[in-house]
C-alpha cells in the first residue's frame, strides 16, 4: 500500500491531523525551522547576489534524520507547514534535505485543523511557491544585515553588547517619541460647566443634566476659575427655554471578525494578555484541543496570523443558522455582512474565526485552560457578532437657550445641550456580554452590507465624564450620549434649575497616553510596520533588550538606555529609523512574495544606500554623555570620582581609572538618587534602613553602608498567609521574565513558596474579611479578593488630594459592597470608605499612566465629582 508522509511544524498539530487522515498516512513534525543562517558575519555573501549559507540548526540534527528516514519509506511527501512565508521557507528547507528523484513532493495548506480543513488541504496540493520563499529570504537577509551592522555601530558609539534590529528599532522610536511628548506636555486648565434642569411647570418629569456648549453664538472655552465663577452666577439666575429637540434612530454596526492585530488589541485590553501570550494561546487553539470526543484533538479556530476579514461562504451560512437558532431570526441580516480588508492586506487567509460556531465556548469550558477559554470566547463572540444586525438606539438631542437675568452678565446668552439614548434593539450587542469597545470597530462603519452608520461606543453616564477630546485640548469636548432617554420636552417649553444645580468642574488637559501592547500593535498596523506574524516578536524584543520597561497597568516607558539608542540612531540619519521607510519596505517584501519584484533587486537597492549612511554615521561622535566631575571622594585612593554612564545606568568611577578601578552605584553617592526613610531596622546591625532604587527596582539598604552592606527587598505591608513573612515584589533577572509577588522567606530555612501574580494591597476584603486584596492592571484597574471562592471585585477608586491629583492611595468603596454579604460573625462594612492605604512605591504624576488603564480611573473621578 502506498504511503504518504505529511510533515507539519508542531507535534500537537501532527497528532490532530493524524486522527483525520487515518491509515496510509504518516505524520511527522519538524518542530519549527530546521535550517537557518549561522551566527557569523559571512552567512550572507553580499557580493554574490546576497546568497545565503544555511546550516542545520543545532539540536535539529535528530529531527532531520527522522524526517529523512520516514521519507525513504514513503512514495509521496506533503509539506504541510504553516500557511505563511515562514512555513514556506521551512517547507523549502525540508524538501532540500529529503531530495530524492523518485520522491513526489508537494505543498499543502491547512487553514483550519478540522476534518474538512485537512481533507481540503490534502486534495488540493500545489508546488512550492518560490516567490513566497524569496520574500522570507529577503526579510531574513535584511534583518541579518541590519542587525549585525547596526548593532556593531551601537557597540562602538554607546556600549559593548547592545543590539539593534530593523523593525524593532522603529517600534522603539515610537515609544521614545511618545515618552518625549509626555515629558514635554504642559497641562492647560479648562472648566466643564453643566446645569441640572427640570420642567418649570406641571407635569413634573425627571430632571436631567445639560452641558454648556456656547455663549453669544460662539463656542465657549472657559480656561480659568474667574470666568467659570461669572458664568456660574449667570446660569444660576437664568431663564431656560427649550430651543430645539431632535429625535432620530441611530445604528451601531458590528465589527468585522478578528484579524491578528485586532485580536491582540482586545486580548490586551480585556483579558490582559500580552501579544506574545495571545499568539501562544491562539496557536494551541488552532493546532487542536482534546475535547474527549471523536477520538482526539480538534482544531477550534482558523489560522491566527492574518490581516484579512474575509470569511468562507460555508462559515457564513453556518453562523447565520446559529444566530437564528440561538438569538432569533430578527438578529440575522437580510444579506450576509461583508467587510473590506485593509488596502495593504495580503488576504492570504480567512479572518480568525471558530472552525465551527456550533462549538460554543461554554460547552467545552471544562476541556480548556482558563486562558484558552477566555480567548476562544472572545473570538467566538466577535465572529458571531459580525454576522448579526446592527444595534439600534433611540437618540434624543435637546438644545436649551439660557438668558441671564443678573445685572451685567458675562455673556448675553448661552446654549446648553443634552443628549441621551436608549437601546431599542440590541442586535450584535446581544452576544458581546458587556464588552463596550472593540478594536477596529471604527473601521466597520459602513463596511457591512446591511446596517447604517456606526454609532460611537457608549459614553460615560455623567455629563462631566472625561473624554479623549477633553484630554486632547482644553475647552468643550465632543457631544456625549448618556445611556438614558431624556424626558419628553417640546420646543419653547420653559425649564428651571434643578438638582444638582450648576456644576463647574475644573480640569486639566492630559498628555497623550503611553503605548501599551494593544495600542502599540494598533499603531504599527496603522503605519504599515511589520506584519501579523511579527507584532508579538517586535514587542517582545524591545523588552528583552532592556530598552523598554512596563509600568504598572501595562504602559511602556523607555529606559534611559532605550532613549540613547534611539537618539543615536536618529542622529545617524539611517533610513531604517523612518517609520515610512520601514512601511515601504514591507510593501516591497509583499511585492517579492507576489512575484512582481526580484529579491536581489530589492536587496541591492537597499544595501547600497544603507552602506553609505552607515559609513557616514561611523564618523560621528560617541552617543553616550561625557563624564562629569563630582565632589565625591574615592573610598580606595582618595581621588575625586566622575559621574559616568554605562549600559546598566549611571555610576561613579575614580578619575584615576584604570590605575584605580573603584566604582560605586550612583544611588550610593551623595546627592544622587532620592532615598526614602523607613521605620525598618537592619537585621544585621540594627541601624535604620532606607529605600533606594537600583537596576531591578526598589530595595532596602542599611544606612550603615559601606560598613554594613545589608540589603533586602521592600516589604509590601502584607503578611504571607502561609508563614507570616513579608510579601515582596520579585523581578526576574532574566530579560522578559514576568514580575510576581512572593514570600520573603522563599530562600530561608522554611522555604516558603507562596506566590501571587497580582500585586497584594494591604486592605481587608469587605466581603469575606481576608487580610488583603490584590490589584489587577489592564483596561480597568480592579481590587480583587485573594481568597479563591470569595468573588469580591471592585473598580479602583484613586484617592485624591485637595488639588484633585491622585496621591497613589487606594481606597475600597465599602458602601458599594452589599452589607448583607458580610459574614454573620463580624460586623458589616462601614458606610464610609476605610482610610487610604499608601502604596510602597511613589505614585505617578496625574495623567502619567498610559494605555487602556488610564481612562477608567479618570471616569471614576468624574462620576464622584458630578455626584
Cα–Cα distance, 430 to 324 (Å, whole number)? 13
Cα–Cα distance, 197 to 495 (Å, whole number)? 6
Cα–Cα distance, 557 to 548 (Å, whole number)? 6
Known active-site residue 303: yes
Q: What's the half-sphere exposure (Cβ side, CA atoms, 13 Å) at 779?
A: 17
Task: Assess contact for 339 and 306: CB atoms under 8 A.
Answer: no
Length of the chain: 867
DSSP type of residue 494: E
Task: Assess contact for 505 and 238: CB atoms under 8 A.
Answer: no
Dihedral angle at the C-alpha atoms of 69, 71, 72, 74, nearest 10 degrees?
130
DSSP type of residue 247: E
Q: What angle do CA 709, 710, 714 make, to 5 degrees?
A: 130
Catalytic site residue from 303, 373, 376, 515: 303
Point out which residues pair with 469 in neighbouring strands: none
Cα–Cα distance, 105 to 165 (Å, whole number)? 36
Cα–Cα distance, 608 to 433 (Å, whole number)? 55
Q: Which alpha helices (DSSP H) does 237-369 contain, by range?
A: 260-266, 275-287, 313-326
CA distances from 823 to 362, 470, 765, 768, 818 (A): 32, 44, 12, 7, 11
Determine if the peptide bond prior to 295 is cis (ω within 30°). no
Cα–Cα distance, 718 to 413 (Å, whole number)? 58
DSSP type of residue 296: S
Task: Assess contact for 80 and 109: CB atoms under 8 A.
Answer: yes
Q: Which is nearest to 779 in space by CA: 556, 557, 555, 457? A: 555
Burial (CB count within 10 angstroms: exposed 0-12, middle 13-18, buried 19+), residue 41? exposed
Task: Assess contact for 615 and 639: CB atoms under 8 A.
Answer: no
**Terminal CA-CA length for the chain:** 79
726-730 and 218-219: which strand pairing? Answer: unpaired
104-107 and 76-79: which strand pairing? Answer: parallel
297-298 and 782-785: which strand pairing? Answer: unpaired
In sequence order, what are the residues at sequence separation of 6 or more whose Cβ sits closer than 8 angstroms to the Cβ of residue 208?
196, 197, 198, 418, 420, 486, 487
Helix (H) or strand (E) run with residue 195 in it: strand 189-199
DSSP type of residue 429: G
CB count, 10 Å around CB of 60?
A: 18
Task: Assess contact for 741 and 760: CB atoms under 8 A.
Answer: yes
Burial (CB count within 10 angstroms: exposed 0-12, middle 13-18, buried 19+), residue 628? exposed
Q: Please report the DSSP string for 528-568 in residue order.
A: T-S-TTTHHHHHHHHHHTTSEEEPTTS-EEE-HHHHHHHHH
Helix (H) or strand (E) run with residue 471 in it: helix 468-472
DSSP type of residue 788: T
CB count, 10 Å around CB of 2?
A: 7
Burial (CB count within 10 angstroms: exposed 0-12, middle 13-18, buried 19+), residue 420? buried
Q: Which is nearest to 863 in space by CA: 466, 436, 507, 418? A: 466
User: What angle do helix axes 517-527 and 166-184 make, rounded to 10 degrees?
Assistant: 110
Where in the sequence numbering do the catalytic residues fall?
303
Amino acid at each position: 500500500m502506498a504511503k504518504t508522509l505529511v510533515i507539519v511544524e508542531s507535534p500537537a498539530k501532527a497528532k490532530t491531523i493524524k486522527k483525520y487522515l487515518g491509515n496510509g498516512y504518516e505524520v511527522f513534525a519538524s518542530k519549527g525551522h530546521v535550517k537557518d543562517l549561522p551566527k557569523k558575519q559571512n552567512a550572507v555573501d553580499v557580493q554574490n547576489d546576497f546568497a545565503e549559507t544555511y546550516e542545520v540548526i543545532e539540536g535539529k540534527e535528530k529531527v532531520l534524520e527522522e524526517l529523512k528516514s520516514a521519507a525513504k519509506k514513503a512514495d509521496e511527501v506533503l509539506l504541510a507547514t504553516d500557511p505563511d512565508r515562514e512555513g514556506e521557507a521551512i517547507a523549502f528547507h525540508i524538501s532540500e534535505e529529503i531530495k530524492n528523484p523518485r520522491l513526489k513532493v508537494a505543498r499543502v495548506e491547512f487553514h483550519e485543523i478540522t476534518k474538512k480543513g485537512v481533507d481540503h488541504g490534502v486534495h488540493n496540493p500545489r508546488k512550492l511557491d518560490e516567490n513566497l520563499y524569496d520574500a522570507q529570504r529577503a526579510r531574513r537577509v535584511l534583518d541579518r544585515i541590519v542587525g549585525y551592522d547596526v548593532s556593531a555601530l551601537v557597540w562602538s558609539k554607546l556600549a559593548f553588547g547592545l543590539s539593534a534590529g530593523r523593525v524593532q528599532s522603529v517600534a522603539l522610536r515610537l515609544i521614545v517619541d511618545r515618552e518625549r511628548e509626555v515629558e514635554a506636555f504642559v497641562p492647560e486648565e479648562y472648566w466643564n460647566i453643566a446645569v441640572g434642569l427640570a420642567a418649570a411647570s406641571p407635569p413634573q418629569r425627571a430632571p436631567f443634566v445639560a452641558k454648556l456648549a456656547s455663549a453669544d453664538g460662539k463656542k465657549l472655552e472657559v480656561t480659568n476659575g474667574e470666568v467659570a465663577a461669572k458664568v456660574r452666577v449667570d446660569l444660576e439666575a437664568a431663564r431656560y427655554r427649550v430651543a430645539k429637540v431632535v429625535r432620530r434612530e441611530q445604528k451601531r454596526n458590528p465589527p468585522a471578525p478578528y484579524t491578528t492585530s485586532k485580536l491582540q488589541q482586545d486580548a490586551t485590553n480585556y483579558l490582559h494578555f500580552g501579544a506574545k501570550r495571545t499568539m501562544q494561546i491562539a496557536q494551541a487553539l488552532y493546532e487542536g484541543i482534546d475535547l474527549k470526543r471523536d477520538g482526539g484533538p480538534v482544531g477550534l479556530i482558523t489560522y491566527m496570523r492574518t490581516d484579512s476579514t474575509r470569511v468562507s461562504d460555508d462559515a457564513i451560512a453556518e453562523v447565520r443558522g446559529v444566530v437564528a437558532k440561538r438569538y432569533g431570526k430578527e438578529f440575522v441580516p437580510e444579506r450576509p455582512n461583508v467587510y473590506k480588508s485593509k488596502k495593504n492586506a495580503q488576504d492570504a487567509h480567512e479572518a480568525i474565526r471558530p472552525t465551527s460556531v456550533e462549538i460554543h465556548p461554554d460547552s467545552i469550558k471544562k476541556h480548556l485552560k482558563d486562558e484558552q477559554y477566555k480567548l476562544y470566547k472572545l473570538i467566538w463572540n466577535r465572529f458571531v457578532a459580525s454576522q448579526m444586525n446592527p444595534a439600534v438606539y433611540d437618540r434624543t438631542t435637546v438644545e436649551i437657550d439660557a438668558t441671564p437675568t443678573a445685572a451685567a452678565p458675562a455673556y448675553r446668552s448661552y446654549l446648553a445641550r443634552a443628549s441621551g439614548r436608549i437601546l431599542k434593539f440590541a442586535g450584535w450587542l446581544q452576544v458581546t456580554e458587556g464588552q463596550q469597545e472593540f478594536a477596529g470597530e471604527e473601521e466597520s462603519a459602513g463596511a457591512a452590507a446591511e446596517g447604517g452608520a456606526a454609532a460611537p461606543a457608549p459614553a460615560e453616564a455623567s455629563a462631566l465624564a472625561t473624554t479623549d477630546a477633553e484630554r486632547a485640548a482644553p475647552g468643550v469636548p465632543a457631544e456625549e450620549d448618556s445611556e438614558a432617554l431624556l424626558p419628553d420636552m417640546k420646543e419653547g417649553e420653559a425649564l428651571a434649575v434643578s438638582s444638582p444645580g450648576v456644576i463647574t468642574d475644573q480640569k486639566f488637559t492630559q498628555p497623550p497616553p503611553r503605548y501599551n501592547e494593544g495600542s502599540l500593535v494598533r499603531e504599527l498596523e496603522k503605519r504599515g510596520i511589520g506584519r501579523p506574524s511579527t507584532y508579538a516578536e517586535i514587542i517582545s524584543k524591545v523588552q528583552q533588550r532592556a530598552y523598554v520597561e512596563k509600568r504598572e497597568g501595562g504602559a511602556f516607558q523607555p529606559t534611559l538606555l532605550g532613549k540613547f539608542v534611539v537618539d543615536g540612531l536618529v542622529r545617524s540619519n539611517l533610513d531604517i529609523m523612518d517609520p515610512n521607510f520601514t512601511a515601504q519596505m514591507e510593501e516591497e517584501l509583499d511585492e517579492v512574495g507576489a512575484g512582481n519584484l526580484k529579491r536581489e533587486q530589492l536587496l541591492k537597492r537597499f544595501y547600497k544606500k544603507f552602506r553609505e549612511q552607515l559609513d557616514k554615521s561611523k564618523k560621528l561622535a560617541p552617543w553616550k554623555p561625557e563624564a562629569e566631575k563630582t565632589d565625591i571622594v574615592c573610598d580606595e585612593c582618595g581621588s575625586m570620582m566622575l559621574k559616568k554612564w554605562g549600559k546598566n545606568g549611571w555610576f561613579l568611577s575614580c578619575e584615576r581609572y584604570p590605575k584605580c578601578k573603584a566604582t560605586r552605584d550612583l544611588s550610593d553617592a551623595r546627592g544622587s538618587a532620592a532615598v526614602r526613610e523607613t521605620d525598618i531596622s537592619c537585621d544585621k546591625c540594627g541601624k535604620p534602613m532606607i529605600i533606594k532604587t537600583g537596576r531591578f527596582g526598589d530595595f532596602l539598604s542599611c544606612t550603615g553602608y559601606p560598613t554594613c552592606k545589608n540589603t533586602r527587598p521592600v516589604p509590601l505591608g502584607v503578611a504571607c498567609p502561609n508563614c507570616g513573612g513579608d510579601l515582596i515584589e520579585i523581578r526576574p533577572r532574566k530579560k522578559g521574565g514576568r514580575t510576581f509577588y512572593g514570600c520573603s522567606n522563599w530562600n530561608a530555612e522554611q522555604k516558603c513558596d507562596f506566590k501571587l501574580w497580582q500585586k497584594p494591597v494591604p486592605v481587608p476584603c469587605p466581603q469575606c474579611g481576608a487580610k488583603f486584596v490584590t490589584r489587577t492592571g489592564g483596561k480597568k484597574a480592579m481590587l480583587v479578593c485573594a481568597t479563591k471562592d470569595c468573588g469580591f471585585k471592585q473598580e479602583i477608586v484613586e484617592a485624591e488630594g485637595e488639588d484633585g491629583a491622585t496621591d497613589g492611595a487606594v481606597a475600597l468603596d465599602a458602601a458599594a459592597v452589599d452589607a448583607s454579604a458580610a459574614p454573620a460573625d463580624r460586623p458589616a462594612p462601614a458606610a464610609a470608605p476605610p482610610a487610604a492605604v499608601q502604596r510602597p512605591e511613589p505614585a505617578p504624576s496625574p495623567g502619567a499612566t498610559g494605555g487602556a488603564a488610564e481612562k477608567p480611573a479618570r471616569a471614576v473621578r468624574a462620576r464622584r465629582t458630578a455626584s
